Each structure stands twice: as structure tokens, then as C-alpha cells.
Structure 1
Amino acid sequence: MPGATSTSPGAPDAETTTGGHPRRWVALAVIAIAQLMVVLDATIVNIALPHAQADLRISDADRQWVVTAYTLTFGGLLLLGGRIADYWGRKRAFLVGMVGFAVASAIGGVANTGEMLFAARALQGAFGALLAPASLALLTVLFTETRERAKAFAVYGAIAGGGSAVGLLLGGVLTEYASWRWCLLVNILIAAVALAAAIPLVPESRAHGNTRYDVPGAVVVTAGLVSLVYGFTRAAEDGWRATSTLAFIAVGLALLAAFVVIELRSGHPLLPMRILLDRNRGGAYLTSTLIGAGLFGAFLFLTIYFQVVLRYTPLEAGLASLPVTAGVLIAAGGASQLLPRIGAKPLMLSGAVLAVVGMAVLTQVEADTSFVTHLLPAQFILGLGLGFTFVPLSSLALYGVPEHDAGAASATLNATQQVGGSLGTALLNTIYTSAVAGYLTNRVPDQTNQVKALVHGYSTAFVWAAGLILLAGLATLVLVRVRREDVPTGGAVHMG
């Protein structure tokens, strides 16, 4: 399942020292707990969404905000969060991010309206954008010896990759045996444990030098993305030609263009344009955006399909979603071994083909589709494709990047995945809603046709998701020209 962590801009000041912090391994456990909390929210809420939607009477057109409110603020503020953590203090940012995330989770857990839940999810994303880069920066400071750092990043990456599976299972258990609200409230317990341990065990550190923040850039890019997503949402209700739809999309595009201008003129840009303008890195970021766009919405519809059409319980839906995670973990391990031998491009192209095949099989879902013979292999193949794509993407994002830009480059990759997921979820949800309404036109809206309409909507969304992943493969084919020996294989970014 999709989830991402980010490195933080700025060179750690403790990296020049010999050895590591005496309590570094205990601190790693604390940081891992906090990271697990952030990763869980990528999947745990998907399982709870059908129940939350019914409880709070959220429309089909608006339910995507439960996902996109989080991913928009997380992706839009991730680079700014990394800079704040570096210069404000990594431990301080880590603690504030954790407390803020827990408070936002509490607000979401007691929400009595859809708007209140959306606001809480946006707040979670904002504090997550502070917590995630602070966590990874702390690891870089704590572990200064190469082998130990590799082990620490392996643990961190395992949390990022396996946390989605934990979220699926935990979301199923909490929704089925307690309430969907506990899928958010559980973060309070996790944060309390991590906070109590972090205060005495995690050391403070900060970077030195230019401490100015590109706040205008962060505000403009986030506002632009929100306007664009809201325009997609209006299309589901008013149509693509409606004035409100076109106005919000136009404003969103204008703000994103303004963001580029701000970054080009800023002396301390949030996103240095030199990072994007390299052909290979630009190809990696475009691929990441398109993959995120195709997957976030598709995963959301898959968990809803399990519960609404196939009548799985939340726990059964969580278990039924695990083949994707299994495929990702297996392929990621193989890709790590193959990357130095065959290079990034062949792996990414193979991954795109597998992911498109898996998604294409999902387009054939029916009201009584077999899990064992259809849904399980389709998800596993999709997961294999993602695993073969994520690992080389992580390395390609660092191709030819100067050391002082490495944090921004890897954080940008994660931000593009989140932003792509936001736009894709909104777009696919609009396409789904339109497909359902179109199917019911001139048909009797009885129970049989209602179910057929839902299945038609899911199938249509999966077709578009497959198209977005195919575009990602084409972007790789056309733009990526890097040689095998030029791509770093250190795995600076962990995605799962």
C-alpha cells in the first residue's frame, strides 16, 4: 500500500562526529513507533471509511476528502516541515509533530460531521509533514557509522513497508469490534507511549546556516492543490462544464504556476527548480505522481468494494487487501538485488507492466467475483509491480543530486506521490460517481441495478487507474536515460 517517508533538507551537524549516540538503539525504537503511527493512517482509515461515511452521512462525491485532506496537507507541507525540523530543532519538531498528530486524531475520532472529520484529517497531514522528516533526520544524526546507519534505515524501511499491512488488520479489528472512531483514537495511545519515551531518550540536534523558510511557497502550492481537488469534486456534482468546476480548476492551475514563479525567484526556495529540471529526476517525479494518482484512489475503491458489494466485514476486507502488501515486500527485496545489476529503467518498466496487468484484471470485477481465483492474484501482481517500481524510483530521485540537495530531492519524491494520490483520488472518485449515475440513467433503480451500478463505477475507476499507471510507464520509457552504473543504490528513501 502506498505510504511514504521523507528525508529532511540540510546536512546533519552531528554527522562528522565519530561513533553514535549512546542511546541510539533505544531512540530508534521510539522513532519507529512514531513512524508506525504515520504509516498506519495511509491504510487504516480506508477500512473504516464505509462505516464513517454512513455514520456521518458523507456523500459519495465528498468521501474522498477523508483521504485527500490528509495527503494534500502532508504532501504540500512536507518540504517546509523538513526545513523547520532542521533549523527549529529535530527533537522539538518530532515532539510537536507527535502531539499535534495525536490531537488531530482525537478531533477526528469524536467528529460528528463530515466537515469536522475532513478538517481533522487535514490537521493530521500538517503535523505528519513535520513529524516524518524530523524522524528520518534524527536517525541520520543518531547513527553516524555506515553499517549501523544501514541497519537503522532497514528497520525504518520495514516499518514503512509493513506498516500498511498492520493498518489494514488493525483497521479491520477496530472497526468491526469497537468503532471506526478508534481507527483515529488509537493514535493517541501510540503517541502517548512514544512521547513518554522520546523526551528522556531522544537527543536534540539542529542544522546551522540559512534558517529562512519559504512560507509563501508552501501556502501557495497547498492552496493550489486544494483548489484543483475541489474543482474535481465539484465536477462530480455539477459536471465538468459547470462554472464552479472550471473556476476552481483554473484557480488551482494559476496558483501552481505562481508557485513555480515564487520558487524561481526565491533565495531560499522550498523546492529548488534545479532538482526538477534534470531529465532523469524529472522523469522519476512524474512517474511517482502518476503512480500515486492511479493507486490511492484504486486502493480506496477496492476496500469499499469488498465491504459494500461483496459484504466482507471490516476485518475480512483488511485481510483481503494484504496480497498487495505481500507483493510489494517480495518485489522490493528482489528489486534491491537487481538494481545494481540491470539498472533503474528496466525495473521500472517491468513494474509498470505488472501493475497495469494487475489493475486490468481488477477492471473485470462483478457483484460475485471470486477472491481466490480473481482478486487475490490481481492484487498480488499489482503489488509486485509496485515493488519493482518504488525501489528504483527512490534511487533515481537522487541521481546527480549534490549532497546539500539530497534531502530536498528525496522529500520531493515522497511529496509527489502524496500529491498525485490526492489528485488521483479526487479524479477517480468523480469518474466513479459519474459512472454510477450514468448507469442508472433510464434504468429502474431497484436493488439489482443499484449493485450493478456500483460495480460499473468501480470497474470504470480501475480502468482509469490502469491508464494512469500506463502513463507512468510511458514517462519512464521516454524520459529516463540514466545508465545503470550512475544510479545510487543506497536506498535513501523508503516507500511502501
Structure 2
Amino acid sequence: MRILHHRVPAGRTPSAPRAPVPRPTAVLAALAAAQFTVMLATSIVNVALPQVRAGAGLSDGGTTWVVNAYGLAFGALLLAGGRAADLLGHRRVLLAGLALFTLASPVAGLAASPGVLITARAVQGVGAAAIAPAAFALAMGLFPAGPGRGRVLGVWGAVSGAGGAGGVLLGGVLTQAWGWPWIFHAVGLGTALVLAAVLVLVPPAAGRGEGRFDLVGTVTVTLALTCLVWGLTTARGAGWGDARVLGAFVAAAGLFAVFAAIEFRRPDALVPPRLLGTGRVAAGNLLMALLGSVWIALFFFLPLYQQQVLGAGPLATGAGQLPLAAAIMLGSALAPRISRRLGATATVAGALITEAAGMLWLSRLSADGSYAVDVLGPSVLVGLGLSVAFVQLTAFAVDGPAPQDAGLAGGLVNTTRQVGGAIGLAALTTLAGSVTARAPAYGTHAQALTAGYRAAFAVSAGVLATTALLAVLLTRRTGTAAAAAAPPAPRPHPVRTP
């Protein structure tokens, strides 16, 4: 499919001329709010899942798909969203994504059947796939590589992590006050406000990029990811040896192989080899996928433990996420300074080990425990490690690509995190469910549930420790990542948009 575009005369770049941004802080705030909304929608349903299940008539598998439908559509289409943003203009694609997200949210809130609710969540994910890479590319364009880039990455890390924790808090408040439909209505209203802010604050783009849209590659990788996550999710109830599960895994493997062949042959590939061969992009994305595999699961299991084992209500469960959110914001602010002091590789490895220690602590949850003893301390430790690792890995993943690939680079790192999260959530819920199913071996139902959660957190700790080791092996290079290490810029630079 050919993307129509403006031809740029020889000797000029698509971004010239460019007017300075009069209010860069306000622009960054609007773009960060867009990213916050995307992350908020990932976790806001978690605390309300018991109420959503009862209200919409969902089964156990359907309840998981309220989370997975959003994550799968988001992750599978992020690459396409990033490429479309580079070709059509970052601001245009951002506005389109925000509009679609705004329209889908009240549909989810008004859903009276499982099919409508899950479909609306998938449409939200499609909108998020346009929002995240476009907003990130615009935010990175506020400052060139070097001075000021650390500020953008710190803000992005803070809003991404705080959005996950804040979603649990807001979900608890809204569910207890007005019922579960309001978690979607509130997100819709908030997204509409962000849309208005972007229209007013973010200057129009100067033009469009060159190239073709890789429709064949997009369809192939989307089908591959769908088969993979569906197989992992279905395995929880049907078992790993079920013919449908095995068929889904075989189909996913075949489609991924076809996608790889397509990408190496097409001149305008969805994931061009040049992108993965730049700097530490490939290493950053691989490590981000592993980090993402435990990220979403954390915000899934913690609220369930607080509600189903400790007996906390939605509001108390949401409030319990505040220390985690505060730790994430603190870690994101300190990440550039830590990287400048210790170096990029030591920073990301230390952050991953810190998060692994917090997960290992959570793997000792007790069925008759308390929030103060079992959740508070490890939550802070996890938040600090997660945020620092996220900022540094993002710096790896976007340090090097050319400006015309900015949206694609942002889409790729978001894809690896989100798809890793969807796969990790499916695998860890399957593990926890399998352990809990052996209830007679653990006594009470609360003890059986706790055993499942403990197993999920223990495996998460192992994944993070392995990721730390891989970080040492894959990212060692003379110097530090300039993107994460640089101090804040003393003055703004022009926005660089396509």
C-alpha cells in the first residue's frame, strides 16, 4: 500500500524550516499525559476485575482477555503505529489515536456483554498503538541527543510507571464510588482533555516522510502475536498438551518465520535491519521485552492478592499502590544521575537486580499476612528498580536511529515491552492458576491463591536476574548512554517532527 506524501526538494529535510517551541514544558506535559493515559488503561481494570466479571458476565478466560485484548492490540500494532507516524506525521497520528481511544472508552463502559467489552478494549489498544510511538517521537524531538534528552526519558519513565500504579488507585476509587463502568468513562473523559491539549499546544508538523507502508509485514506479525498470546492464555484452562494450544504455537512460529523472511527482502520493511544494527537498539529491545514480561504481571497479581487474600476493598487496594508509584517517580528522576555516576551497563544491571530482590521478597507472601509486612517494602524496592531500568533501556533502544526512524524506534521499544508483558502475563497467570488448582495440597482457598501468586513472583525474580546478566553481556561499551546520562538542558530546542 502506497502512502501518499509530500516530496521534499533536494537539499532540504522534511523538518525544515522549523519554528521554536514557545512553551516546551507545556508541550512535554501534554505529550507525557498522552503516554500516562496509555499506561493507565493497561492497569485501571485490574483492581475492578471481580466487579467487571460479575457485571459483564465474564468467564475466567474472558476476564483475562479484558486485560489481554488491550495489551495484544497495543503490542501487535505499535510497530505499524510508529511507522505510520514517521510517514504521515507524528502529530496527525497522535491526534487520530487519541480520537479513537476517546470513542472506544465509553463503549467499554456501557458494554452489557463480554463480546462488546473485549472488542472495545481491543479498539482502545489500537488507539494506544498510535498514541505511544507518536507522542514519544514528538517528546524526543523537544531536545536533540545529548543535553536535555535525560529529562525527557526521566519524565517518560515517571509517567509510564506511575500510570500503571495510578491506574490501580483510580480504578479502586471509581469502582468503589460509582461502579466499574466508570473506570472506562473516566479514561474517555481524560483522553478527550489530552486530545484538546495536544491540539492547542503541539505545533503542526511541517510535512510527511518518504516510503511505503509494510502492510504484508504488519498483518503477518499481528497474526503471529495473536496466535502466541492466545495459545498461552488458552493453556491455562485447557493444558499445555491441548491440540488447540499446540496448533496456536506452531502457527505462531511459522508466521514469525515468514515475517522474518519478509522483513529481510522488503526495501521498506516494518522493522528494517538498519534499525536493529544501530548502537545498542537490539540489546535494549531484547532486555525491555524481558522487563515487560514481569511489569504488567506485577500490576495484575498485587491487586488480586490484596483483594482476594487480604480482603481489602477496591479503594484500599488502589491506595496501596501509592508507595509503588512514588518509588517509580523517584527512580525515574534519579536514573540519569545514577547512569552518569555508574555508567549505563552498571546502572541497568543494578536496577534489574534491585527489582529482582523486590520480586523475591514478594514470593514470600503469606495467606494470613498484612499490607505493611508483605507488600509495602517489596513494592518500594520493585518500583525503584523498575523505573531506573526502564529509563536506561529506553535510552539504549532510541540512541542511534536517524530522525526519520524516530517513530519506528519508539514504536519498537514500546512493542517489545508491551508484547513481552502480554506474553509474560499469559504465562504467569497460567503458572499461578496451575499451582492454585492443586488447592488440596495447600489447605484453604486463600492459601492456594497465595501459593499461586508466590510462584509467579518467584519466576519473575528469576527472569529479572537473568535479564541483569544479559545486560552485562550485551550492553557493555565504552562510555555511557548519552541519552540517559545527560543533565537537563538549560533552554529548549525546536520540536523536530516529520
1:17 and 2:18 are equivalent in the alignment: yes
Superposed, 1:335-346 pairs within 5 Å as 335-346=335-346
Residues 56 and 112 in structure 1, CA contact (< 8 A), matched pair in contact too: yes
Q: Which moved more, 1:387-396 or 1:52-61?
A: 52-61
State the match for 1:457 in structure 2.
Answer: 452
Residue 163 of structure 1 and its aligned partner are, at CA, apart by: 3.2
Residues 24 and 143 in structure 1, CA contact (< 8 A), matched pair in contact too: no
Change beyond 3 A, Cα 1:152–1:230 = closer
Q: Which moved more, 1:459-468 or 1:312-321?
A: 459-468
State the match for 2:322 in structure 1.
Answer: 322
CA distance in 2 between partners of 1:202 and 1:346 (Å): 36
Change beyond 3 A, Cα 1:401–1:24 = closer
Residues 87 and 206 in structure 1, CA contact (< 8 A), matched pair in contact too: no
Letter in 1 for 2:60: D
Normalised by the length of structure 2, the TM-score is 0.86
State the match for 1:477 in structure 2.
Answer: 472
Residues 263 and 270 in structure 1, CA contact (< 8 A), matched pair in contact too: yes
Residue 338 of structure 1 and its aligned partner are, at CA, apart by: 2.0
CA distance in 1 between partners of 2:346 and 2:152 (Å): 29
Which string of whole-angstrom CA distances, capped at 9 and with x for unpartnered residues, describes residues 146-192 of structure 1? Answer: 98888777666654443334323221110110111111111222233
Q: Which moved more, 1:23-32 or 1:51-60?
A: 23-32
1:244 and 2:244 are equivalent in the alignment: yes
1:290 and 2:285 are equivalent in the alignment: no
Residue 409 of structure 1 and its aligned partner are, at CA, apart by: 2.9
* Matched position secondary structure for 1:212: coil
Residues 394 and 491 in structure 1, CA contact (< 8 A), matched pair in contact too: no
State the match for 2:270 in structure 1.
Answer: 270
Superposed, 1:316-465 pairs within 5 Å as 316-440=316-440, 449-465=444-460
Residue 138 of structure 1 and its aligned partner are, at CA, apart by: 4.1
Residue 360 of structure 1 and its aligned partner are, at CA, apart by: 0.9
Which string of whole-angstrom CA distances, capped at 9 and with x for unpartnered residues, describes residues 330-366 of structure 1? Answer: 2233321021232111112111211111111111112
Q: Over aligned residues, Cα RMSD in angstroms?
A: 3.0
Change beyond 3 A, Cα 1:233–1:42 = closer
State the match for 2:462 in structure 1.
Answer: 467
Residue 197 of structure 1 and its aligned partner are, at CA, apart by: 4.9
CA distance in 2 between partners of 1:434 and 1:310 (Å): 21
Residue 228 of structure 1 and its aligned partner are, at CA, apart by: 0.7
Superposed, 1:70-149 pairs within 5 Å as 70-139=70-139
Residue 312 of structure 1 and its aligned partner are, at CA, apart by: 0.8
Change beyond 3 A, Cα 1:17–1:146 = farther
Residues 133 and 414 in structure 2, CA contact (< 8 A), matched pair in contact too: no
State the match for 1:49 in structure 2.
Answer: 49
* Identity %, equivalent residues: 36
Residues 398 and 406 in structure 2, CA contact (< 8 A), matched pair in contact too: yes
Residue 325 of structure 1 and its aligned partner are, at CA, apart by: 2.2
Superposed, 1:180-259 pairs within 5 Å as 180-199=180-199, 202-259=202-259
Change beyond 3 A, Cα 1:400–1:96 = closer
Residue 78 of structure 1 and its aligned partner are, at CA, apart by: 1.4
Letter in 2 for 1:213: F
| Structure 2 unmatched ranges of 5 or more | 1-11, 488-498
Residues 158 and 332 in structure 2, CA contact (< 8 A), matched pair in contact too: no
Which string of whole-angstrom CA distances, capped at 9 and with x for unpartnered residues, describes residues 94-131 of structure 1? Answer: 33211210121122111223332222111111111112
Residues 294 and 464 in structure 1, CA contact (< 8 A), matched pair in contact too: no
* Matched position secondary structure for 1:129: helix
Q: Which moved more, 1:166-175 or 1:278-287?
A: 278-287
CA distance in 1 between partners of 2:484 and 2:459 (Å): 32
Letter in 2 for 1:365: L
Residue 288 of structure 1 and its aligned partner are, at CA, apart by: 0.9
Change beyond 3 A, Cα 1:203–1:401 = closer
Change beyond 3 A, Cα 1:111–1:440 = farther
State the match for 1:6 in structure 2.
Answer: none
CA distance in 2 between partners of 1:311 and 1:66 (Å): 23
Q: Which moved more, 1:34-43 or 1:298-307?
A: 34-43
Which string of whole-angstrom CA distances, capped at 9 and with x for unpartnered residues, describes residues 3-28 of structure 1? Answer: xxxxxxxx9844653523x5766655
* Matched position secondary structure for 2:173: helix
State the match for 2:8 in structure 1.
Answer: none
* Matched position secondary structure for 1:49: helix
Residue 35 of structure 1 and its aligned partner are, at CA, apart by: 3.6
CA distance in 2 between partners of 1:281 and 1:193 (Å): 34
- Figure out how many residues of one structure are paired with residues of the other and give that number: 476
Change beyond 3 A, Cα 1:348–1:33 = closer
1:489 and 2:484 are equivalent in the alignment: yes
* Matched position secondary structure for 2:444: helix
Q: Which moved more, 1:36-45 or 1:265-274?
A: 36-45
CA distance in 2 between partners of 1:218 and 1:491 (Å): 35
* Matched position secondary structure for 2:63: coil
Residue 396 of structure 1 and its aligned partner are, at CA, apart by: 1.7
CA distance in 2 between partners of 1:175 and 1:491 (Å): 42
Which string of whole-angstrom CA distances, capped at 9 and with x for unpartnered residues, describes residues 369-407 of structure 1? Answer: 122223111111111221231122122223444454444
Letter in 2 for 1:281: V
Q: Which moved more, 1:288-297 or 1:392-401?
A: 392-401
State the match for 1:175 in structure 2.
Answer: 175
Q: Which moved more, 1:53-62 or 1:23-32?
A: 23-32
Letter in 1 for 2:20: G
1:312 and 2:312 are equivalent in the alignment: yes
Change beyond 3 A, Cα 1:31–1:400 = closer
Normalised by the length of structure 1, the TM-score is 0.87
Residue 251 of structure 1 and its aligned partner are, at CA, apart by: 0.7
CA distance in 2 between partners of 1:278 and 1:131 (Å): 24
